[in-house]
Amino acid sequence: NSEYMGDSSHSISQRSSTSATRVLIWALVAAAAFTAVALFATTETTTATVTARGSATAQSLSAQVMAAPLRFGPHAISLRQVFYRTEATVAIVNLKPIVPFHVLVIPTRVVARLHELTESETAQLFVACRHVVEVLERNLDGMAGATVSVQDGAAAGQTVPHVHVHIVPRKSVHDFPKGNDEVYERLDNNRREPRTEDAMAAEAATLARFFGQTHPDH
């Protein structure tokens, strides 16, 4: 019996030790899980705080950019001429258009040549051009395409030292009496009558509605 009792006591002792070990392991697991949850919550809170600060900064920067005066080379741009704007680009009506709704898209930073733009500015400029063409074609009767042209430098016919993209709405290749290439002759010939500010503003107000943007004359 004594041997039996001894074995039994040893067995009970082993079971007690095993149970205690299991309790300790579960306690450690629970503590680790609690710590992980707390850490995750702290991280999420920190991330949300940083994100909120970043959003506030972005909104502040956007407000600063949108409030900045606009220039087309040496010329001040009236807000009445603007019909579409992003942080890096602005689309304006043309002083001397060769056809109705011939517009310009320019970077907000004044640089004379394409190679002076950063890669980001270049990308944003042509994304804006794509959007302008798409919206114009969706809203202008008969428009079936566009001549998109850049005169990069005075040697190419650039008259204002500021990168600008001409967007000329087209109905067909027969838009001009001399044929399709006449569009480039007309772009190179700057001896056209300038429009009045009110005429330009009226066109810009019409276009701004297409783009869902506000206009001073609305």
Q: Which residues are catalytic?
A: 164
Query: Contact, 128 vs 91, CB < 8 A?
Result: yes
Q: What DSSP line would sit under 91-106, residue for residue?
A: EEE-SS-SSTT-EEEE
DSSP 152: -
| Closest by CA position to 125, among listed 91, 175, 160, 176 | 91
Paired tokens of 104: 């310009």
How far apart are the C-alpha atoms of 32 and 19, rounded to whole Å?
20
Helix (H) or strand (E) holding 13: helix 2-67
